[in-house]
Amino acid sequence: GENVGLHLPTLSVQEGDNSIINCAYSNSASDYFIWYKQESGKGPQFIIDIRSNMDKRQGQRVTVLLNKTVKHLSLQIAATQPGDSAVYFCAEKMRSGGSNYKLTFGKGTLLTVNP
Amino acid sequence: SQTIHQWPATLVQPVGSPLSLECTVEGTSNPNLYWYRQAAGRGLQLLFYSVGIGQISSEVPQNLSASRPQDRQFILSSKKLLLSDSGFYLCAWSVRDSYNEQFFGPGTRLTVL
């Protein structure tokens, strides 16, 4: 089964509110995590990443929090805008044989922003 | 800057027909390359990855194959398509020996009838 999952498959917020999207992972040895945004019919776009030696990282209007104790990852979007409506995926870097690694993606959360 | 191309953008094929999807990357050398499939409303499933020309690793047993004839070209193929092969196929690249951030192409929507 998948090692990365999401608590909420859908999230609906009002424009201007803050959004929080959650993700759980099971591999305590994972050392790198990414959040992607995927708009309908398009490929995923990188939003922000975080290494396991950090517990918080901020970008433009986005913040990723990593809680290694409970193996939980969250993406916070400040002042959510209609353009933020998309599916958001978390991904975890895992070993894939020998010295190779792969990203394992969660199922995704659909964020809908209401004007 | 680096760009990644996929074609065709959409494809409708009958069951039993062959498949060839192409992915090319510009602006970088020796990338890692990846093929993913995304079923409707689902996450991304890694199908194949390649760390060099002619080097292909398969993640899941399936009806598909991949080839890398050139450094920046990655091809996904099938000899006979199944209904279950329908989906959104995404190609991605990452910096060689870096398995961190992956950059995705625009995808190909495949419908098998």
- Residue whose C-alpha is closest to residue B90's, from B42, B57, B55: B42
Band of the pLDDT at B39, cuts 50, 70, 90? confident
Tell me: pLDDT of A6 over 80.
Answer: no
Ordered DSSP codes for chain B: --EEEEE-SEEEE-TT--EEEEEEEES-SS-EEEEEEE-TT--EEEEEEEEETTEEEESS--S-EEEEEETTEEEEEESS--GGG-EEEEEEEE-TT--S--EE---EEEEE-
Report the mean per-residue pLDDT for chain B: 92
- Residue whose C-alpha is closest to residue B89's, from B104, B101, B70, B68: B104
Taking the C-alpha atoms of residue B74 and residue B3, their distance in angstroms, rounded to an integer, is 14
Domain total of chain B: 1
Report the mean per-residue pLDDT for chain A: 89
Band of the pLDDT at A56, cuts 50, 70, 90? very high
Q: Do B106 and A43 touch (CB under 8 A)?
A: yes
Model pLDDT, residue A98: 67
Rounded to an integer, the average pLDDT of B40-65 is 88
Q: What is the CATH number of the domain that holds B101?
A: 2.60.40.10
Taking the C-alpha atoms of residue A96 and residue A52, their distance in angstroms, rounded to an integer, is 18
Taking the C-alpha atoms of residue A20 and residue A73, their distance in angstroms, rounded to an integer, is 10
What is the distance of C-alpha B96 from the center of its chain?
17
Interface check B61 vs A, CB under 8 A: no
Tell me: pLDDT of A7 over 50.
Answer: no
Model pLDDT, residue A113: 96
Q: Do B57 and A96 touch (CB under 8 A)?
A: yes
Nearest-neighbour CA in chain A from B75: distance (Å): 17
Residues of A with CB under 8 A from a CB of B: 2, 32, 34, 36, 41-46, 49, 89, 93, 96-97, 100-108
Tell me: pLDDT of A96 over 80.
Answer: no
Residue where the block lists tokens 């969660």: A106
Q: What is the CATH number of the domain that holds A108?
A: 2.60.40.10
Taking the C-alpha atoms of residue B59 and residue A55, their distance in angstroms, rounded to an integer, is 31
Domain total of chain A: 1
How much of chain B exceeds pLDDT 70, in percent?
A: 99
Residue B28: domain span? 3-112
Token couple for B83: 């209904």
Model pLDDT, residue A2: 39
- Tens of pLDDT along B63-104? 899 999 999 999 999 999 999 999 999 999 999 877 678 999
Tell me: pLDDT of B61 over 90.
Answer: no
Cβ atoms of A19 and A77 within 8 Å: the answer is yes
According to DSSP, residue A82 is labeled: G
Band of the pLDDT at B60, cuts 50, 70, 90? confident
Interface check B35 vs A, CB under 8 A: no
Higher pLDDT among residues A17 and A5, named by residue? A17
Cβ atoms of A67 and A75 within 8 Å: the answer is no
Residue A107: domain span? 4-114
Cα distances from B106 to residues A35, A69, B43, in angstroms, run 18, 36, 16
Taking the C-alpha atoms of residue B58 and residue B22, their distance in angstroms, rounded to an integer, is 17
Model pLDDT, residue A94: 79
Helix (H, G, I), strand (E, B) or coil at A73: strand
Helix (H) or strand (E) holding A92: strand A86-95
Rounded to an integer, the average pLDDT of B13-40 is 94
